[in-house]
C-alpha cells in the first residue's frame, strides 16, 4: 500500500524526440492516494496504457520520476515494485490448474505453502471460483479466465496498486456488469489502490471515486464523476462524457458577457479567464429546455431521437447544432422552437478551457 506520485513525467517512443508531438505523454504530474479507486479515461491512443506501463515498470519514462511513498522507483523492474496488472486479454498459465495459477505470484516470491493456501482459498472465495480450483485453467470461459487474472493480481497481501488495462474488452456484455460490480466490491474488501484504464465512460464512472481524463498525452481533468459531468474543465471532457456530449457553441465575449449569434447568453457567473482566445459557451443537453413560445434562443428542430427513457432533440440555432434531452412530449421535426439554457449550468470556455466561475446566485 502506498501513495503513488508521478512527477514531471514525459515519455516518447522516439529515441530522439524533437517536438511536443513526438511525446506520447506530455508532462504529467499526478498523485494517486493510497486506497483510492481511480479510472483513467480517454480515447484510444491518448496515452493511457503508456502511463499504466510506466507505473507498473514495464516502461521506463523518458523524463521524470515515479515515486511510491516518496521513494523513487523509476528504474525498478515490475517485480520489485510490488504491483499487479490485469491485461486486456486474460493471461493465464494454460498448463496449470486454477489453484496453481493463483498461487504462482506467491510461490515465485518464496512464500510458505500454508500462506499460499490461505491466500489462494481466500481470493477464490471472493471471486466465487472456489469450485474451479482443481480444474485446468485452459478449460475456463473467457470471463472466468479474466477473473483468474484479476485473482493473481489480488492474491499478494502487500500490492501497492492493482492496475486494470481495459479488462472487460473480451467479456460478453451481460457478464461485464457482473464483473464490474465484483471489482467494486473487491476494492472495498481489499482496500488496495486500483487504477482502471478504459475508454468506456460507463465503466469509468461506475467503478471510480476519482476519474482522470486524458487526451493527447495530457491530463485534462481529475474529479469525481459528478464534477466531470457538471463542471467539465475542458470542452473535450464535456464532449467525451455524457450522451450526447456537451453543446459547445462559438461566441463573442464583450463587456464580460457572452454573445452567441448576437444574442446574449446568461452565464453562470463572471468570466474569469483572461486573453482573447477562441471563446465558446458550453451547456449540457440535460439543462436545455425546449418550448414553443418561452424565452430563449430561436431554433429549428432537425431531428428527434426516441431512445426509450427520454428523447434527444437536435435543433439548429444560428447555424450551430444544439442537443436537448427531454422527458415526455417533444416537438416534431421542422418545428420552430425556443431553447432556454439553465443559467447555473451555462459555462464559458476559452481555447477549450473553462473560463467562468459560479456566480453568487448559482
Distance CA 117, CA 321 (A): 61
With CB under 8 A as the rule, give the number of residues binding other proteins: 27
135 binds other proteins (CB under 8 A): yes
- Which alpha helices (DSSP H) does 128-167 contain, by range? 142-154
Using DSSP, state whether 48 is helix, strand or coil: helix
Q: Return the residue of 8, 14, 71, 95 that touches other proteins, per CB under 8 A.
A: 95
85 binds other proteins (CB under 8 A): yes
Other beta carbons within 10 Å of 299? 23
Q: Which stretch binds other proteins (CB under 8 A): 81-89, 196-204, 260-268, 350-358?
A: 81-89
Q: DSSP letters of 286-297?
A: GGEEEESSSSSE
Beta bridge partners of 325: 312
The grid cell for 295 is: 424565452
- In terms of Cβ atoms closer than 10 Å to its own Cβ (0-12, 13-18, 19+), residue 198 is buried
Distance CA 17, CA 13 (A): 8
Print the binding letters for residues 139-178 with other proteins: x by CB under 8 A, - otherwise: x---------x--xx-------------------------
Q: Which stretch binds other proteins (CB under 8 A): 22-30, 88-96, 305-313, 315-323?
A: 88-96
Q: Could you tell me if 326 and 315 are in contact, meaning their C-beta atoms sit under 8 angstroms apart?
A: no
Least distance between other proteins and beta carbon 218 (Å): 25
Least distance between other proteins and beta carbon 63 (Å): 23
Q: Return the residue of 45, 109, 170, 362 that touches other proteins, per CB under 8 A.
A: 109
Q: Could you tell me if 337 and 301 are in contact, meaning their C-beta atoms sit under 8 angstroms apart?
A: yes
How large is the angle between the packed helices 173-190 and 142-154, nearest 10 degrees? Answer: 10
Least distance between other proteins and beta carbon 66 (Å): 15
The grid cell for 188 is: 472495498
Least distance between other proteins and beta carbon 114 (Å): 19
Name which of 139 and 333 has its Cβ closer to other proteins.
139
133 binds other proteins (CB under 8 A): no
Q: Return the residue of 4, 84, 116, 337 that touches other proteins, per CB under 8 A.
A: 84
Distance CA 67, CA 357 (A): 34
Beta-carbon contacts of 41 under 8 Å, excluding residues fewer than 6 positions away, are: 48, 198, 199, 201, 204, 211, 212, 213, 214, 240, 241
Name which of 139 and 272 has its Cβ closer to other proteins.
139
5-64 residues in contact with other proteins (CB under 8 A) are: 53, 56, 58
Summarize as ranges the residues that interact with other proteins (CB under 8 A): 53, 56, 58, 77-79, 83-85, 87-89, 91, 93-96, 104-105, 108-109, 135-136, 139, 149, 152-153
Amino acid at each position: 500500500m502506498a501513495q503513488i506520485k508521478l512527477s514531471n513525467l514525459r515519455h516518447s517512443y522516439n529515441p530522439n524526440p524533437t517536438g511536443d508531438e513526438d511525446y506520447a505523454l506530455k508532462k504529467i504530474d499526478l498523485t494517486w492516494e493510497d486506497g483510492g479507486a481511480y479510472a483513467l479515461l480517454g480515447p484510444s491512443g491518448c496515452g493511457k496504457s503508456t502511463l499504466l506501463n510506466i507505473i507498473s515498470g514495464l516502461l521506463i519514462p523518458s523524463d521524470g520520476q515515479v515515486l511510491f511513498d516518496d521513494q523513487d522507483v523509476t528504474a525498478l523492474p515490475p517485480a520489485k515494485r510490488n504491483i499487479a496488472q490485469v491485461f486486456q486479454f486474460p493471461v493465464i498459465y494454460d498448463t496449470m490448474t486454477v489453484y496453481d495459477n493463483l498461487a504462482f505470484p506467491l510461490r515465485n516470491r518464496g512464500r510458505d505453502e500454508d500462506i499460499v493456501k490461505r491466500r489462494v482459498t481466500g481470493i477464490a472465495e471472493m471471486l466465487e471460483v472456489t469450485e474451479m480450483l482443481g480444474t485446468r485453467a485452459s478449460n475456463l470461459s473467457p470471463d472466468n479466465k479474466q477473473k483468474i487474472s484479476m485473482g493473481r493480481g489480488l492474491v499478494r497481501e502487500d500490492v501497492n496498486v492493482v492496475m486494470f488495462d481495459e479488462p472487460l474488452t473480451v467479456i460478453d456484455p451481460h457478464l461485464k456488469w457482473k464483473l464490474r460490480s465484483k471489482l467494486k466490491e473487491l476494492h472495498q474488501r481489499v482496500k488496495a489502490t486500483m487504477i482502471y484504464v478504459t475508454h468506456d465512460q460507463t465503466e469509468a464512472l461506475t467503478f471510480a471515486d476519482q476519474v482522470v481524463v486524458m487526451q493527447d498525452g495530457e491530463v485534462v481533468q481529475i474529479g469525481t464523476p459528478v464534477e466531470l459531468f457538471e463542471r467539465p474543465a475542458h470542452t473535450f471532457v464535456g464532449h467525451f462524457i455524457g450522451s450526447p456530449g456537451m453543446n459547445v457553441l462559438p461566441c463573442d465575449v464583450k463587456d464580460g458577457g457572452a454573445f452567441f449569434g448576437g444574442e446574449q447568453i446568461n452565464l453562470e457567473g463572471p468570466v474569469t479567464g483572461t486573453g482573447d482566445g477562441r471563446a465558446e459557451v458550453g451547456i449540457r443537453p440535460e439543462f436545455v429546455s425546449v418550448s414553443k413560445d418561452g424565452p430563449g434562443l430561436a431554433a429549428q428542430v432537425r431531428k428527434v431521437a426516441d431512445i426509450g427513457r427520454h428523447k434527444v432533440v437536435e435543433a439548429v440555432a444560428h447555424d450551430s447544432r444544439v442537443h436537448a434531452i427531454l422527458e415526455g412530449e417533444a416537438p416534431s421535426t421542422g418545428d420552430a422552437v425556443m431553447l432556454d439554457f439553465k443559467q447555473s449550468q451555462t459555462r464559458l470556455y476559452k481555447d477549450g478551457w473553462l473560463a467562468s466561475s459560479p456566480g453568487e446566485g448559482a
